[in-house]
Amino acid sequence: MSAQKDKPASKPRAKKLTDAEQVAEFMDKLEHPLKAEIEAVRNIIKNANPKISERIKWNAPSYYTSADLLTFNPRSQKNVHLVFHHIAIVQVKSSLLEGDYKDRRMVYLTDMQDIEGKKAELERILNQYIELAE
């Protein structure tokens, strides 16, 4: 009869954070001069359409429905930079959308006044974009 070896006690597994919890944690830890502005744009995006979900992708808050749609680029310290990266964005016409890339467009917002002034247009873009991307 062999003696059963003592197994080391296993560590409890850390609970995997939900996508929303991961974004909240990212925002809590974010050190950025426009953190409040990023949070304001984040709220506009999340509230623009109930189909939009958020998660961390490419080391930044990213938004999707059935397809990946847009991601913050937090490396820019001078503005809030959004990258719309689904090819459907090229069909959306707006003076907010910058760049002449074949498959993406950029949006740059500078401060709270700029964000508030462009909120309705950003919401329109998001809703048209979702309709085209799905």
Within a domain: residue 55? yes
Task: Report how far apart, in Å, the C-alpha atoms of 93 and of each of 22, 64, 86, 90, 119 are.
Answer: 32, 20, 14, 8, 16
Question: What is the CA 41 to chain-centroid distance, rounded?
Answer: 9
Do the domain assignments include residue 3?
no
Classify residue 60: in a domain, yes or no.
yes
pLDDT of residue 5: 53
> What pLDDT shows up at residue 17?
87
Helix then strand then coil, in percent of the chain rounded to 5, is 40, 20, 40
Total structural domains within the chain: 1
pLDDT in tens, 103-132: 999 999 999 999 999 999 999 999 999 999
Residues 61, 47, 34: CA angle, nearest 5 degrees: 45
Residue 111 belongs to some domain of the structure: yes
CATH code of residue 39: 3.90.1150
Instruction: Say if 113 falls within a structural domain.
Output: yes
Question: Does residue 13 lie within any of the structural domains?
Answer: no
User: What pTM does this model have?
Assistant: 0.86
Answer whether residue 10 is part of any domain. Answer: no
Domain assignment present for 14: no
At 2 the pLDDT is: 47
Confidence label for 134 from pLDDT (cuts 50, 70 and 90): confident
Given this model, what pLDDT does residue 11 score? 61
Q: Could you read off the pLDDT of 16-62 as tens digits, one per residue?
A: 889 989 999 999 999 999 999 999 999 999 999 999 999 999 899 99
In terms of residue numbers, what domain contains 87?
Answer: 32-133
